Chain A
Amino acid sequence: MGFFSNLDIEAYDREYSDRDLLKRINLYLKPHIGRLVGISFLLVIIGASSASIPLLISTSLDRLTLNQDDSFIRLMIGLVLLAAIINWGGNWIRRRMTVRVVSDVVLTLRTDAFSSAASHDLSFYDKFSSGKVVSRITSDTREFGKLILLIADLGAQMVQAVLLGVVLARLEFRLFLYVLGFLPFVFFLAMGFRRIARKVTREGMQAMAKVNATIKETVSGIAVAKNFRQEPEIFADFDEANTESYGINLRRGFLLSLVFPVLNAVGGIGTAILVYAGGWSAAKGIVTIGSWYLFVVGLDRFFFPILNLASFWAQVQAGLASAERVYALIDAESAVVQTNNLVTDRITGRIEIADLNFRYTDNEWVFKDFNLTVEPGESVALVGHTGSGKSSIAKLIARFYEFQSGKFKIDNYDIRDLNLTSYRKQLGMISQTPFLFSGTVAENIQYACMDSSLEEMVSLANEIGEGEWLKTLPEGFNTEVGERGGHLSMGQRQLVALLRVLIQNPAIFILDEATASIDPFTERQIQQALDLILKDSTSILIAHRLSTVKSADRIIVLEEGKIIEEGTHDLLLKQAGYYSVLYNTYFRHQSLAYIEESGKLVD
């Protein structure tokens, strides 16, 4: 089925030169050099054994016409048998070796790709979507593996064709030239077909995508359609797309159906000419009968590799492009650079930022000469509009990004001097959409503290709403949370994430509060969990809820990367400055006063 493979592949823009790429590929192949030599050796053996069968037959035919030399004929048959066995056995060993080379190379490449991906800082993930990274690690590495397989398979066919070609050329040069002259014709015919096939395949896929889109819309919107009884309308849309796709794909089918019949008919003409011309040569004694036979049956054996060759280049290009995408992932440079590797005892959690300059890319500065000091155990709420720099502070404290200049100290250490692993072990972080891994609730809570005990978890869980949240889970701690925590509600996920931090008892706690709506009962419990953490850790809160803002020791009001006000909630409200504007924009509707007033919004 080689001919129809990779029809949907287009040209890629390449950045690595072929030479660099081959060098890199070479590095991965080197450890398997022994196997590769073995495979190449087997390729020759297999090619030779396949090519020898028609050769043996033709020799036998010649012999049979001369005399009835029994032992020689028996030898020939024995050799045919041997060739068949070598062919099968050689292929067996070759394919065993190939699958090991391919799987091992892919395994190494995959592991390298993932460990690079895990070590890249977050500026890398701002540039590449996670879906793309995943597909580079799984699909692209697999495509690259296929390239090795492809080369090995085509290699076997080519060796066979070349060996046979040498024999044929030595037998009768003119007939061989005829065979050779025939090949480009077949090759270009096949290339032409591929071009057409690619075009109609693309059209077919577009038509199919349209049908699928209408089905998707129906399936997801079925409730709405049913509520309003609009089924006939959406059916008409579907029917049109379905009929259109049928027409386009049928046309595609017709063109693809043409390929092999045409090639077979052309092959028939080639054989006919050989039967005729070769027959005359044989009659005149220029070639033996056996050689004539060899030419006639040999034609097919040239045919097949040429067909595969027509699709070869596109597949090689696709394989190299995949390799390149994987290497680009591995080679991406880390922006965060540590200058030392200090492993500290437990830190107190003092944060001191002075004259800080920071920007994400070459765009605008996020912070210019920024200063902030947070004392150990203090909780600080950051408020401000989107883009004011709230989450940038959090991300810099976590050392997810590199800053350009200034002083950034944790306790008395320069943040750049710290061993990142030991430092981050003392951080507790919750991102805006709390992330859970598939597994049980308990496993998620213990994610960063494998050695914590069940009793510890139970007692912590019971400190929150008398453990009521745990009772609502079908199997308590052993409840499977599903992929990305999908089986739990948003509120439950937040609670699990909070417990994960609680059990870790971090020196510094960083919370990017979720904006999702949560039922008021769960919200109460989240607040309780939060209070427990705030008690013991230095806390940086990117607050979206009024109650969180109020619970902070200090509120810092940010505007375009500058601190414009700070103080407690009551104090700042009294000042009637920028904070009170923010309060009216973001927090007013969460207050009890608003709830009491809201009944009068209408009437």
Chain B
Amino acid sequence: MDTNQKLTSEFSLPEEYQVSDSIIAKRSSPMRWLVAHFKEYWHLGLYMVVGAIGNASLAAVVPMIIGMALNALLEEPPRTEILLRYALIIVGTQTVRGALQLGRNFSAEMLGQLMERDIRHELYTSLLGKSMTYHSLLPVGDVMARATNDVREINFMFSPGFNLVVGSANFIFMPILFSYQYHPSLIAAPLIFLLLYILALWQYLYELGPITDSVRKTFGTLNSRLAEAIDGIETVKGMAEEASEVELFASNARRFRDQEVHQGDVEARFLPLLVWGLVQAGGLFHAITLYQRGLLEIGDIAAYFGLLGLLGFPTFISLFAYSQVSLGIASSRRILELINRETELDQNQSGYQGVMKGKVHFDGVSYAYPDIDTSINDIDFSIQPGQTVAIVGQTGSGKTTLAKLVNRTYDALSGSIQIDDIDVKDWNLEVLRKQISIIEQDIFLFSDTIADNIAFGKPDANQEEIEQAAKSAQAHNFIQSFKDGYETMLGERGVNLSGGQRQRLALARAFLTDPRILILDDSTSSIDSATEDEIQKAIFEAAKGRTTIIITHRLSQIRWADYILVIRKGEIIARGRHEDLIQSSEAYSRLFKE
């Protein structure tokens, strides 16, 4: 599967940036994949464990020294001269403990940061390599959530997640280890703790799981309806439905409140806390009994009780630690899902590489999206080089899909698409795409200067060429109206352009790369006639001398196309020249009546 993936990737990085094969091989399961990533930095994991063991054992030193000091003081006469030594031992061990704890924390932190960096890098390169089918099927928001939050969660899984798991586990074992020296039977209490603690925690999580889910769900309902009602406040008020919205909100909010209280009730009855308390009391009883039988000294009781006190840290923290780890694992599953989803197109490096003339032929083409209803069915048509074809139809009729099959954004499920009488699958993909330009409905501009946006497909274009392209696209005038002209920044920290302006910039891009086939998904509308003039001019200009497929709502583009396809529900219901259609199609001729 991995070799296959390499072949089909649309983009591959120079050697030094590539993800190592050992990691790619482990992409089948989240755990194995995480382990493969971890292996690259296993020494950090080692430091973390060493630091954790040191930290916990030195923390256990304090109660033991206190016990020894107690014993020394109880001797007759008290051995006060040894107190200084004990004090110094505490200072010494706690300073070393601090250093070891820092080592543990920082190793975990570094591990987390490195994982985050590497996994984000891996995800990003994988995204770059995916086909456009892949990208057009995934909502941007979803991909973003995985690339940002989920990658972050993996960091948190190591720090504080694993850091605290390893840290608190040591705090559970140290009392067992160190109790033995006072009397072998004293390991009973910490052992019982371990057992009951696991049971209590398991029961707690088992009970809490479904409740947390329904809390999240009820909140989701509450929040999304609220956001809708506020966004649509004009509609709500215009229809005088405020009262029913308030009622709906109140009942959603109450449902959420009930779930939240339910969750709070389960959390309140946190049994591990009781277990800890009982074990402390039981341990104390045990130690005193041993003392009374002359098997322990008083200081040993104090030391032992102190050791049992160490169990408090895991009691409170491990829940948090485990949930961090399980969140991290869930996140890694989501990330892998994204990486592993296959990209269907193959590059066909050895494919045909000629100069395109621009003849397009569809022969019995069908396509359906995996999860969506829109599909196209058995489409036939031919476009001669240099012709302009207008595709008309309602939204969702399949117009856009049809156009996207031409440059293999999608591959047809059946039938064939030929360009210059060669099946698109037999073309070298790169050569094919370089000669076809698609201008999408949502025109994407980078947060960069206008000049760089126009020159995106031809980075070495000089200013003159850029301006010439902008002039042909009727964009020069509005670009000049900005203070910084072609150097105007676009996007978040720059100027926002109107739909018509964006479209003309996209057309300028196309003029610069001079494709043989231009596909224009045109859904802008102009408010005023002057802008409309400019857009029409730009489109007519762009269509000159190349094959143009235009999906449009503009009657004038339809009117003047060489050929018109009327699509309904994925099928061609009428086709021909304007003059013919106006005679033959009732629905079509109705469009041109006032």
User: Could you tell me the distance between the alpha carbons of A85 and B277 in the complex, rounded to whole angstroms?
Assistant: 7
Which label, helix, strand, loop or mixed, suits the secondary structure of the A interface?
Answer: helix
With a CB–CB cut-off of 8 A, which chain B residues contact A228? 456-458, 509, 513
The one of A216, A262, A437 in contact with B232, judged by C-beta atoms closer than 8 angstroms, is A437
- In the complex, are the beta carbons of B268 and A227 less than 8 A apart? no
**Interface: A154 (CB within 8 A):** no
Do A589 and B533 contact each other (CB < 8 Å), given the known contacts A57-B302, A211-B120? yes
- In the complex, are the beta carbons of B246 and A114 less than 8 A apart? yes
Q: Which residues of B from 360 to 406 have beta carbons under 8 Å from A?
A: 373, 392-397
The one of B144, B250, B569 in contact with A111, judged by C-beta atoms closer than 8 angstroms, is B250
**Interface: A243 (CB within 8 A):** yes
Q: Which residues of A from 558 to 603 have beta carbons under 8 Å from B?
A: 584-589, 591-592, 594-596, 598-599, 601-602
- In the complex, are the beta carbons of B569 and A472 less than 8 A apart? yes
With a CB–CB cut-off of 8 A, which chain B residues contact A425? 239-240
Closest to B152 in A: A208
With a CB–CB cut-off of 8 A, which chain B residues contact A504? 239
Question: Contact string, A198-228, partner B, CB cutoff 8 A, digits 1/0?
Answer: 0000000000100111011111111111111
**Interface: A12 (CB within 8 A):** no
Question: Contact string, A231-269, partner B, CB cutoff 8 A, digits 1/0?
Answer: 111110011001101100110011011101110110111
**Interface: B305 (CB within 8 A):** yes
- In the complex, are the beta carbons of A64 and B291 less than 8 A apart? yes
Question: Contact string, A325-357, partner B, CB cutoff 8 A, digits 1/0?
Answer: 000000000000000000000000000000000
With a CB–CB cut-off of 8 A, which chain A residues contact B533? 589, 601
- In the complex, are the beta carbons of B237 and A268 less than 8 A apart? no
Distance to closest chain A CB from B395 (angstroms):
3
With a CB–CB cut-off of 8 A, which chain A residues contact B88? 272
**Interface: A177 (CB within 8 A):** no
- In the complex, are the beta carbons of B396 and A472 less than 8 A apart? yes
Do A273 and B87 contact each other (CB < 8 Å), given the known contacts A122-B234, A242-B120, A601-B540? yes
- In the complex, are the beta carbons of B298 and A61 less than 8 A apart? yes
The one of A224, A296, A472 in contact with B66, judged by C-beta atoms closer than 8 angstroms, is A296
User: Could you tell me the distance between the alpha carbons of A117 and B281 in the complex, rounded to whole angstroms?
Assistant: 55
**Interface: B425 (CB within 8 A):** no
Question: Contact string, A272-314, partner B, CB cutoff 8 A, digits 1/0?
Answer: 1101100110110000010011001100000000000000000
With a CB–CB cut-off of 8 A, which chain A residues contact B70? 61, 289, 292-293
- In the complex, are the beta carbons of B13 and A235 less than 8 A apart? yes
**Interface: B113 (CB within 8 A):** yes
Q: Which residues of B from 5 to 51 have beta carbons under 8 Å from A?
A: 10-11, 13, 17
**Interface: B196 (CB within 8 A):** no
User: Could you tell me the distance between the alpha carbons of A230 and B446 in the complex, rounded to whole angstroms?
Assistant: 12
User: Could you tell me the distance between the alpha carbons of A280 and B555 in the complex, rounded to whole angstroms?
Assistant: 100
User: Could you tell me the distance between the alpha carbons of A595 and B390 in the complex, rounded to whole angstroms?
Assistant: 15
- In the complex, are the beta carbons of A589 and B526 less than 8 A apart? yes
With a CB–CB cut-off of 8 A, which chain B residues contact A85? 274, 277-278
- In the complex, are the beta carbons of B239 and A218 less than 8 A apart? no
User: Could you tell me the distance between the alpha carbons of A510 and B374 in the complex, rounded to whole angstroms?
Assistant: 34
- In the complex, are the beta carbons of A519 and B264 less than 8 A apart? no
The one of A114, A221, A230, A435 in contact with B444, judged by C-beta atoms closer than 8 angstroms, is A221
The one of A65, A242, A423 in contact with B117, judged by C-beta atoms closer than 8 angstroms, is A242
Closest to A233 in B: B459
Of A188-196, A364-372, A520-528, the one with at least 4 CB within 8 A of chain B: A520-528
- In the complex, are the beta carbons of B591 and A521 less than 8 A apart? yes
With a CB–CB cut-off of 8 A, which chain A residues contact B239? 424-425, 429, 447-448, 504
**Interface: B147 (CB within 8 A):** yes
**Interface: B254 (CB within 8 A):** yes
**Interface: A498 (CB within 8 A):** no
Of B94-102, B172-180, B187-195, the one with at least 4 CB within 8 A of chain A: B94-102
The one of B74, B237, B268 in contact with A96, judged by C-beta atoms closer than 8 angstroms, is B268
The one of B231, B278, B569 in contact with A484, judged by C-beta atoms closer than 8 angstroms, is B231
Closest to A49 in B: B277
Distance to closest chain B CB from A172 (angstroms):
15
Do A587 and B105 contact each other (CB < 8 Å), given the known contacts A107-B254, A235-B128, A271-B62? no
- In the complex, are the beta carbons of B98 and A265 less than 8 A apart? yes
The one of A297, A438, A472, A585 in contact with B530, judged by C-beta atoms closer than 8 angstroms, is A585
Do A429 and B109 contact each other (CB < 8 Å), given the known contacts A258-B102, A265-B98, A489-B396? no
Do A104 and B78 contact each other (CB < 8 Å), given the known contacts A95-B264, A122-B233, A472-B394? no
- In the complex, are the beta carbons of A279 and B127 less than 8 A apart? no
- In the complex, are the beta carbons of A520 and B553 less than 8 A apart? yes
User: Could you tell me the distance between the alpha carbons of A84 and B66 in the complex, rounded to whole angstroms?
Assistant: 23
With a CB–CB cut-off of 8 A, which chain B residues contact A258? 102, 105
Task: Tell which of B70, B108, B127 has the most Cβ of chain A within 10 Å.
Answer: B70
- In the complex, are the beta carbons of B66 and A92 less than 8 A apart? no
Of B135-143, B204-212, B350-358, B416-424, the one with at least 4 CB within 8 A of chain A: B135-143
Question: Contact string, A46-75, partner B, CB cutoff 8 A, digits 1/0?
Answer: 000000010001001100110010100100
- In the complex, are the beta carbons of A111 and B238 less than 8 A apart? no
With a CB–CB cut-off of 8 A, which chain A residues contact B309? 297
Distance to closest chain A CB from B517 (angstroms):
12
Q: Which residues of A from 366 to 406 have beta carbons under 8 Å from B?
A: 398, 400
Of A14-22, A132-140, A456-464, the one with at least 4 CB within 8 A of chain B: A132-140
- In the complex, are the beta carbons of A224 and B456 less than 8 A apart? yes
User: Could you tell me the distance between the alpha carbons of A3 and B102 in the complex, rounded to whole angstroms?
Assistant: 17
User: Could you tell me the distance between the alpha carbons of A138 and B252 in the complex, rounded to whole angstroms?
Assistant: 12
- In the complex, are the beta carbons of B128 and A586 less than 8 A apart? no
- In the complex, are the beta carbons of B124 and A592 less than 8 A apart? no
**Interface: B166 (CB within 8 A):** no
The one of A99, A137, A222, A257 in contact with B127, judged by C-beta atoms closer than 8 angstroms, is A222
- In the complex, are the beta carbons of A57 and B305 less than 8 A apart? yes
Question: Contact string, A131-153, partner B, CB cutoff 8 A, digits 1/0?
Answer: 00110011000000000000000
- In the complex, are the beta carbons of A239 and B121 less than 8 A apart? yes
- In the complex, are the beta carbons of B128 and A246 less than 8 A apart? no
The 30 sampled A-B contact pairs (Cβ below 8 Å) are A53-B280, A87-B277, A93-B268, A99-B268, A111-B246, A111-B249, A114-B249, A122-B237, A137-B230, A211-B120, A217-B446, A224-B446, A229-B433, A264-B94, A268-B93, A268-B95, A272-B88, A276-B83, A292-B73, A429-B234, A435-B234, A437-B228, A448-B240, A515-B525, A517-B523, A517-B525, A519-B392, A520-B555, A594-B529, A598-B560
Given contacts A99-B264, A425-B239, A435-B232, list 4 more A-B pairs with CB under 8 A: A81-B277, A118-B245, A229-B434, A230-B456
